[in-house]
Amino acid sequence: MRFVDEFREPELISKTAEEIRRLAGTDRHYRLMEVCGGHTHAIYRFGLKDILPENIELIHGPGCPVCVLPMGRIDDGLAIAQHPDVIFAAFGDMMRVPGTQGSPLKHKARGMDIRIVYSPSDALKLARLNPEKHVMFFAIGFETTAPSTALTMMRAKAEGICNFSVFCNHVTIIPAIRAILDSPDMRLDAFIGPGHVSTVIGCRPYEWIAHNERKPIVVSGFEPLDMLQSIVMILHQLRKGEARVENQYKRVVPWEGNRAALRAMAEVFELRPYFEWRGLGFISQSALGVNDKYAGWDAEQRFEVPGVRVTDPKAAQCGEVLKGVLKPHQCKLFGRECTPEHPIGALMVSSEGSCAAYHNYEHRKAAMVSLSSVA
């Protein structure tokens, strides 16, 4: 329990860990999926696996937007950015994600006009500042960032700013969970539900998971104690044979979500019939496209998009890792060809990707253990 001393309320954490041990018993194995990449990062950073009993296995879910974006979409976005008048604006997280011809950062080094923005409204500001150019915002993220993109497009339309468009890669979490539950090689007992996505969508959209699939789901905060308490709540349900949606993160997540944010999304976006997810393949109605009212601000309608499809390198097993069938270190490329410094798969790029998280914390720990055993 290496990090426990750093935590607030270490006694409460030890008590909760003890409660988990008691509830988990030894008679069965539990497979719990944390859907959100932020939780994956926290689990590794806090060393929660060292606190949990061995029969509780945490499977890392698809909730890292950078990780699930297919390489072809990056190539498509960069193809639009080839136009001499286009400024390509994206969050910093996107800059190191490899496309076929290199990352956006590499394209910037080759002279392309690529800018980091920290907010979609700053991409719109770039358009105001550069009226002779066209600013294309490469939008990415789940429901935590999609409403901000939507509101920015509403502002662009209201102000009549026409040299601005969005290359929309926003995805929605519910269809991804459904795809995972439908996958034949996936056996899960329960879900730790995403925290910040739920501030927008609320808890109601998860009810089918409990009612139809008979799996508990507990929306959780990000502190170590939050996640341990969520696991206690899940185990209580499983021991009693119940399946309900519960909200451990009530202090931030309202049951009904954020209606103003949902209205903004409904104003601008429509569900795409299908969208490709890296590692999971095509999932129907799983992503947001721009509706006809906002066609003038949709980069895919304003520019020719090559529609590139790139298969992941054969040796890379991102798909299996993303579905939780393989652990990160079981991939043939892990830590050798594919490292956070030179990522091949997207799971290695973002600190919320399970491979990068595993590499940064577990791998290093294992290396230290083997060194100390030599000494």
Interface residues with other proteins (CB under 8 A) are 6-8, 37-38, 41-42, 45-46, 64-65, 91-93, 115-122, 125-126, 129, 140-141, 144-145, 147-148, 151, 155, 196, 199-200, 221-224, 251-252, 254, 258-261, 264, 352
Question: CA-to-CA distance for 340 and 355, rounded, in angstroms?
Answer: 8
Q: How far is the CB of 22 from other proteins (least distance, A)?
A: 26
Q: Tell me whether residue 152 or residue 237 sits nearer to other proteins (CB atom).
A: 152
Q: How far is the CB of 215 from other proteins (least distance, A)?
A: 24
Query: With 0-12 CB in 10 A as exposed, 13-18 as middle and 19+ as buried, what is 296?
Result: middle
Q: How far is the CB of 25 from other proteins (least distance, A)?
A: 30
Q: Tell me whether residue 47 or residue 216 sits nearer to other proteins (CB atom).
A: 47
Q: Tell me whether residue 145 or residue 165 sits nearer to other proteins (CB atom).
A: 145
Q: Which amino acid is at 145?
A: T
Tokens of 37: 């990449």
Q: How far is the CB of 107 from other proteins (least distance, A)?
A: 17
Q: Tell me whether residue 154 or residue 186 sits nearer to other proteins (CB atom).
A: 154
Alpha-helix runs per DSSP H in the chain? 10-24, 37-45, 48-51, 65-68, 71-81, 104-109, 120-129, 146-159, 173-182, 196-201, 207-211, 224-240, 259-268, 299-302, 318-322, 354-357, 364-374
Q: Tell me whether residue 224 or residue 328 sits nearer to other proteins (CB atom).
A: 224
Q: How far is the CB of 184 from other proteins (least distance, A)?
A: 30
Query: Taking phi first (over 0 means left), then psi (-120 to 50 degrees means alpha), and beta for anything else, what does residue 316 get?
Result: beta
Q: How far is the CB of 250 from other proteins (least distance, A)?
A: 11
* Nearest of 146, 91, 144 to residue 289 by alpha carbon: 146
Q: Tell me whether residue 301 or residue 360 sits nearer to other proteins (CB atom).
A: 360
Q: Tell me whether residue 125 or residue 244 sits nearer to other proteins (CB atom).
A: 125
Question: Are 344 and 337 spatial neighbours (Cβ–Cβ below 8 Å)?
Answer: yes
Q: How many CB atoms lie within 10 A of CB 29?
A: 12
Query: With 0-12 CB in 10 A as exposed, 13-18 as middle and 19+ as buried, what is 344?
Result: buried
Q: How far is the CB of 155 from other proteins (least distance, A)?
A: 8
> Is the four-CA dihedral 98, 104, 109, 111 of positive or negative sign?
positive
